Structure 1
Amino acid sequence: MKVVLFARVSTNIQDYDRQINELTGLAKRNGWEIAASFAEKVSGAKKNNERTELLRMVEYVEANHINKVVVTELSRLGRDTLQVLEVIEMFNAKGISLYIQNYNIETLTDDGKVNPMSQFLITILAEVARMERKTIKERMDSGYQNFRANGGLVGRKQGYRKSDEAMKEEYAEEIRLLKRGYSLRNVSKLTHTSVNTLRKLTIKFC
């Protein structure tokens, strides 16, 4: 079985060699063939569309029909629950299993079905994500009301329209993924850009 190794550290003074070495040993013990390794030095709190190596890894496993991605721990995929959950759900939909070394658990069984234990983990993540979204919404609503109460105006200026160049710069990663043939739904999951916006980008630039 071909697998892809993925490692992440948060700062430039940290080294991901330990993670790669651990995962390499794990692959050898299990008889897995390592097709590729991806590693990045980036904060796990960053959004998926700001993580070049994560996006490259997702592209690679899809293009090369890889069945398994291996990480030392779930936080290597990221520390933002919503972002991690979206990657796992996308993997599940495409039949790609995620092996989490410190939990000794895979998201899919050998026949490609969702592992009940991993589903339990994902359910917990989903609930945490729901609570995070609720907290964020409450903070935004509170800030919005406070802004309005102090005379602030909301919304775009009348007649405002972004130039094509500004859109290209702002949505460079989205356009790149769309041109590579990713579906609107998958690009939306990876980048948190609405499907309607992606449709406009497709019409204009793809």
Structure 2
Amino acid sequence: MATGQTIGYLRVSTAGQNSARQLDGIALDQVFEDKCSGSTTDRPQLTAMLKHARSGDTVVVHEISRLARNTADLLDLVKRLTGKGVTVSFIKESMTFAAGKDNPMNTMLLTIIGAISAFELSMINERRAEGQAKARAEGKHMGRTAKLTADQIAAIKQRAVTESKTALADEYGVSRATLYSVLKT
């Protein structure tokens, strides 16, 4: 293994998810963690990790889909890191990529696994959209619960002509921005 730092990269899709299991038990010198979608490489901690990693370092990632959900981005990131002399190791897939040690079989497997990951994401999105469309067709409410009823909105519109907007917002328990939004409709 390389003689530099061992750098961990963690990613979960939402702030509510927990990344603790990803590199549990692995000794790391530095950890970079993003809590956002892997569908783009525009991630603050990914950018910081790419700048931080130096020749001789090893970047450890729990699984391929944590680094990228797009095959082209995945291959580009691995190439950028190995091009700097950084070793990239994926724990779950037991795959390692090092500068100057091209392994055509590993590259092919990385491409295939990356494509499967991208396909899986598109299938998840497709099923979610189908479920939402079905729920809407059945008349189910989607999104946040409305803060104000139709009767409250009508009363606010009528009273807003002569009363303070701030007082109305306080009385109905909404922000002034919500109140002004209601008045525009």
Q: Structure 1 length normalisation: TM-score?
A: 0.49
Q: Give the deviation of 1:122 after TM superposition.
A: 3.7
Which of these residues, 44, 48, 60, is aligned with residue 38 of structure 2? 44
Distance 1:51 1:119 in 2: 24
The 2-side partners of 1:117 and 1:69 are apart by: 20
Aligned AA for 1:96? Answer: V
Runs of 5+ in structure 2 lacking a partner? 120-185
Match of 2:94 among 100, 104, 107: 104
Identity of aligned residues (%): 32
Of 12, 15, 18, the residue aligned with 1:12 is 15
Counterpart contact for 2:12–2:35, Cα < 8 Å? yes
Residues 150-186 of structure 1: CA distance to partner in whole angstroms, max 9, x if unpaired? xxxxxxxxxxxxxxxxxxxxxxxxxxxxxxxxxxxxx
Structure 1 spans left out of the alignment, 5+ residues: 28-33, 133-206
- Equivalence for 2:48: 56
Q: CA–CA distance in 1 between the matches of 2:64 and 2:73? A: 12
> Structure 2 counterpart of 1:101, which letter?
I
2:10 aligned counterpart, secondary structure: strand
| Corresponding residue SS for 2:37 | coil
C-alpha separation in 2, matches of 1:66 and 1:10: 29
* 1:35 alignment counterpart: 29
**Alpha-carbon distance in 2 for matches of 1:40, 1:51:** 7
Deviations 1:130-166 (CA, angstroms, capped at 9, x unpaired) = xx9xxxxxxxxxxxxxxxxxxxxxxxxxxxxxxxxxx
Distance verdict in 2 for CA 1:59–1:66, change over 3 Å:
farther
Aligned residues: 115
Q: Which runs of 4+ in 1 moved over 4 A?
A: none
List per-residue Cα deviations over 1:58-84 (Å, max 9, x = no partner). 00003xx44210011000102122211
Give the 3-state SS of the residue equivalent to 1:58 in structure 2.
helix
Over 3 Å counting, the alpha-carbon distance change for 1:18 and 1:125 in structure 2 is closer
CA–CA distance in 2 between the matches of 1:15 and 1:51? 17
Deviation at 1:95, TM superposition (A): 1.8
Residues 56 and 87, structure 2, Cα contact 8 Å, conserved in 1: no
Q: Distance in 2 between matches of 1:71 and 1:17?
A: 13
Q: What's 2:68 paired with?
A: 78
Which structure has the greater CA radius of gyration? 2
CA root-mean-square deviation: 2.6
- The alpha carbon displacement at 1:123 in A equals 4.7
Question: Which aligned pairs between 1:73-152 and structure 2 lie closer than 5 A?
Answer: 73-108=63-98, 112-124=100-112, 128=115
TM-score by length of 2: 0.54
CA contact (8 A) 1:8 1:77 kept: yes
